[in-house]
Copies of this chain bind each other. A is one copy, B any other.
Amino acid sequence: MTSRLFTKNKRVILYGAALAVLLFLLKWLEFHFIIINNAYEVYIGAIALFFTLLGIWLALKLTKPKVQTIVVEKPVYINDVSGFSPNLRELERLNLSRRELEVLELMAEGLSNQEISARLFVSLNTIKTHSSNLFDKMEVKRRTQAIEMAKRLCIIP
């Protein structure tokens, strides 16, 4: 830590050194007058205190402020009602026909085959055929599984 400080800021070192030399000279001038009064300890203590504070000041002033970065992940829930974008890749991969997708969507709404056939104006048997093909393509066995998979793959909202 300290070494990094001294290797990086050359200007700082020169500044500190110059200040130290200046103080040194001042001391040398005052030395004899103060020393005579037998106040050696006080003098040494004052110097120690001063340079301690100088060191603290130097460190605080001239080091880059320590920054501890805390990354807080804020979950943003995606509202399915407003902006639903179907997973086109999966949709393409499954290779469902238009009609099959229609049937799948109505299934997911909880309609029975009978109701779906009425909605699409076709016979019950047709819906059965579609759903059967649907299950084959999605590799599932039941309509509930088809719904689960479709929701998981984001094919339907």
Contact = CB atoms under 8 A, between A and B. Distances in A.
Interface of A: 1-2, 5, 16, 20, 23-24, 27-28, 31, 35, 40-41, 44-45, 47-60, 63-80, 83, 107-112, 140, 142-149, 151-152, 154
The 10 A-B residue pairs with the shortest CB-CB distance, nearest first, are A55-B55, A110-B145, A59-B59, A65-B66, A51-B51, A52-B55, A55-B56, A110-B148, A65-B68, A56-B59
Contacts of A111: 144
Contacts of A149: 110
Contacts of A147: 110, 144, 147
Copies in the complex: 2
A76 B78 contact: yes
A54 B140 CA distance: 74
A56 B49 CA distance: 13
Contact of A70 (B5, B69, B108): B69
Contacts of A1: 60
Contacts of A27: 41, 44
A80 B51 CA distance: 59
Contacts of A142: 110, 112
Contacts of A151: 79, 151
A41 B31 CA distance: 9
